Chains A and B, each alone.
Chain A
Amino acid sequence: MYRLRAEFCKGEEIRYIGHLDILRTLERALRRAELPVARTQGFNPRQKIAFASPLSVGITGERELVDIEFDSEISPDNFLQHINSVLPAGMRFSTACGIAIGGPSLMADLDQAEYLARWHETLIDGLKPILELFLQQDEIFILRHSKKGERRLNIRPAVLQLKDGGSRDGNIRLLMRLKLSGELTAKPNEVMEALREISGLKIEAPLLTRLEVKLSHRK
């Protein structure tokens, strides 16, 4: 058995494609590449693929992480070359490296992520005063919808950083660092919603990108 940890991007072309569809696309690409991907046992064998964190419909990703297990050793270069030649537009792997079998999963090591939001809006004083207003709050409650229903949650502790990314081409750019694991997490759309409420800005149809997924440092 052999395990690769690889980094890929979910590009603009497939912004509106959801996580399960990305998974299925990768499974099919791996079959097209005829790589020796390991499969689970049982009546419904699945390829052994594990993502760090699902990316929602509407959000692109620049450096997403995935672990793939193989039955035999495959060099990272070989993997990259084969997989990139059979991926549809919008998905591309940039790096890969072998990691220990049996080590912690990506999901277990997941810690935080960096996002970029950009949208059309004219602000005389820039984004800074609004971000300060946001960060001054001790508690920011949002409604989180899940299969189990609606929950009212304080996302403020999970918002690690908000930064004015400066405007470009008439677009306001906001950088966010959010906690993705543990008791308290925050989603970029929730931050945008809270920002609308606090600032009174319209923030119409912001385009979101996850710039990087960060793992916790283990000793």
Chain B
Amino acid sequence: MQDKLNRILPRVQKPGRYTDAEWNAGRKDWEAVQIRLALIYPDIYEVGESHLGLKILYNIVNSRPDALADRAYAPWPDMEAEMRAEGVPLFALESRRPLADFDLLGITIQHELTYSNVLTVLDLAGMPLRSVERGPEYPLVLGGGPSTYNPEPLADFFDLFLIGEGEEAIGEIMDALTEGRRQGLDRLALLRYLAGVPGVYIPSLYRVKYTSEGTVSAVTPEEGAPARVLKRIILDLDKVSFPTTPVVPYIEAVHDRITLEIMRGCSRGCRFCHAGMVYRPVRERSLDTLVKLAGQLVHSTGYDEISLVSLSSADYSCIGPLIEELRERFEAKGINISLPSLRIDSFSVDLAQSLKAVRKAGLTFAPEAGTQRLRNVINKNVAHEDMLTAAGAAFSAGWDLIKLYFMIGLPTETEEDVCGIADVTRELLQLGRRITGKAVRINVSVSSFVPKPGTPFQWHPQIDEATLLARQSLLKDFFFRDRTLRGAKLSWHDPLTSMLEGILSRGDRRLAAVIEKAWHLGCRFDAWSELFHWNLWQQAMVECDLEADFYRSRPRSYDEVLPWDHISSGVDKPFLIREDEAARQGRVTEDCRRGRCTTCGVCPALRGRAKLAGGDANVPSKS
């Protein structure tokens, strides 16, 4: 195979993507283990190698003497074409073995725009795309990650999903697989056996019926399969293994630094935010654990930056002391500390000021909506005055560039809210000029809202394409014509990719046909705007006789059976309904770390509770 690769690689872009032998790469003996797992991120190497979740699983599986974990990524289309022409199947990096030789393929599904790449991975591995067409000679295909909180559009392609966090469950799945094989179970019996592992969802064991209107009428599990699959979580992050010898890529990954996960979950309760709902409750690692991990990671990787990652790192209860301690230990060695996201208050600005990496990269705030009314609707608890104070603090501290993130297409949004984005920007530009005595710059980034399953907005229609484009041009008019907005730069996420996300995120099993059709039509790497072909997806919808609007822009009633109702993040439906009602009335809900328990249901469902490094949060009250 190396001969073939030597012929192919000089012809493709960035051949370093297909190189292994990186520092800390495992390379376990293939013959010395009983069970082999390929961990797959369905995007290019640079993206996949930046993903912490797979690094965690790679470390856990490779520390088992009886198992090995190897890595694979989706080849860029030029490489895919060359591999097909030369007859090279998709292989795992370290073992150079075809994926079909493995026992288990673990594919992470981070977002909807990687669905087409999952099919590339399976097909290039020489495997039938659909689970029912795969015999016992093929590996089992396991899916995980945030998008599997609605696994239904992908259900036909996967043999099993793991819902939630994989640290403990991956070992249980591998054990069950080994045991099932020892007992000589056939493929169906093996899947039934695996359904006994908590958090495992075997889609083929569930029958879905539809109403005459096309909505789901019932999802019926076969006997023995759980009626509702509840996510797995790790209650105490201090007691779970964290990868301290991660692979250090030769080529530059998207996140080319130490990623130290300081906490999981976020209880701010932004109503649009999928991660904020499904990753509950908040669990922080202790200060001691983090300082120890940081030391080991610096020593084993040689990176010059430690990024303190989580959904909202400035919310970590001991963030000040943590940063102080890390700076004291590592700054003299030329190692910088960085935070990926900031909340909008002057405390964050003080933090940012002490961090060189953040000083360089610039400050980013996410007000998400342009008016106070709409911020209340989405429960983004940022007051107008907070924004002025934070931006003022940033300008006083010497920044002359700040970045703002907004969304358009949010529920209840009007043109006035869109104009609010321009108003806020203008006010901050004037504030900056007043404080610094010269012109400041503001980069405004606007994305389009996609209603996500498992959030309070799961019943809302997504904004229609025409209105979205009209609001976009309204905003463009402001930013390109209005002289008072000089100094502000507007950038967009492709609004059409959000249309596709809107279809897939709340889809049902019938969309498998669409995904397969679109893939046959040539759809690949939909997250890459140069490769995104909305027209092909539209064609696929038409050929499969399905309506985009049915999935995207139809209001759903609270009593409709949703395709993902049998998958549970632990947050219960009555809470989501209460939150949606509060949104419609413009009422805000407190963060349970600071205010009352919101009775979201996650703590009782998972027999856990929020765990903070600086002392525990509220005890959940009975709902």
Q: Could you list which residues of chain A lie within 8 angstroms of chain B, going by C-beta atoms?
A: 13-18, 20-21, 24-25, 27-32, 39, 43, 45, 57-58, 86-90, 204-205, 207
Contacts and interface: CB of A to CB of B under 8 A. Distances in A.
Nearest first, the 6 closest Cβ-Cβ pairs linking A and B are A28-B302, A16-B15, A88-B23, A32-B302, A89-B21, A31-B302
B250 A39 contact: no
Contacts of A24: 252
B333 interface: yes
Contact of A57 (B15, B22, B334): B15
Interface string B245-270: 00010111000000000000000000
Contact of A16 (B9, B23, B360): B9
B595 interface: no
B304 A14 contact: no
A16 B5 CA distance: 11
Contact of B21 (A21, A43, A90, A204): A90
A17 to B, nearest CB: 5
B250 A205 contact: no
A21 B10 contact: no
29 contacts: A13-B19, A13-B21, A15-B6, A17-B19, A17-B251, A18-B16, A21-B251, A21-B252, A25-B23, A25-B250, A28-B23, A28-B248, A28-B302, A28-B304, A29-B23, A31-B304, A31-B333, A32-B299, A32-B301, A57-B15, A86-B302, A88-B22, A88-B25, A88-B248, A88-B250, A90-B21, A204-B7, A205-B7, A205-B10
B303 interface: yes
Contacts of B360: 43
Interface in B375-420: none
A181 to B, nearest CB: 26
B550 interface: no
Contacts of A21: 16, 250-252
Nearest to A90: B21
Nearest to A25: B250
Contacts of B110: none
Contacts, number: 74
A16 B7 contact: no
B16 A16 contact: yes
Interface residues of B, number: 28
B300 interface: yes
A56 to B, nearest CB: 11
A86 B300 CA distance: 9
Interface in B1-46: 6-7, 9-10, 15-16, 18-25
Contacts of B22: 88
A158 B527 CA distance: 46
Contacts of B334: 31, 39, 45
B300 A32 contact: yes
Given A21-B251, A24-B252, A88-B250, A16 B19 contact: yes
A13 B19 CA distance: 7
Contacts of A43: 360
B298 to A, nearest CB: 8
B606 to A, nearest CB: 39
A19 to B, nearest CB: 11
Interface string B284-305: 0000000000000011111110
B23 A14 contact: no
B31 to A, nearest CB: 20
A20 B14 CA distance: 13
Contacts of B248: 28, 88
B16 A28 contact: no
Nearest to B302: A28
Contacts of A45: 334
Contacts of B21: 13-14, 88-90
Most central of B10, B15, B24, B302 by chain A CB within 10 Å: B302
A98 B23 CA distance: 28
B250 A17 contact: yes
A119 to B, nearest CB: 10
Contact of B19 (A14, A27, A207): A14
A105 B298 CA distance: 31
Contacts of B20: 13
Nearest to B9: A16
A87 B22 CA distance: 9
Contacts of A15: 6, 9
Nearest to A26: B302
Given A28-B303, A30-B302, A31-B333, A57 B16 contact: yes
A58 B6 CA distance: 9
Nearest to B24: A88
Contacts of A87: 23
Contacts of B301: 28, 32
Given A14-B19, A18-B16, A58 B10 contact: yes
A30 B22 CA distance: 16
Given A88-B25, A90-B21, 20 more contacts: A14-B19, A15-B9, A16-B18, A17-B251, A24-B252, A28-B23, A28-B248, A28-B301, A30-B302, A31-B334, A32-B299, A39-B334, A57-B15, A57-B16, A86-B302, A88-B24, A89-B21, A89-B25, A205-B10, A207-B6
A33 to B, nearest CB: 8
A90 B250 CA distance: 11
B302 A14 contact: no
B302 A29 contact: yes
A29 B303 CA distance: 9
Nearest to B12: A16
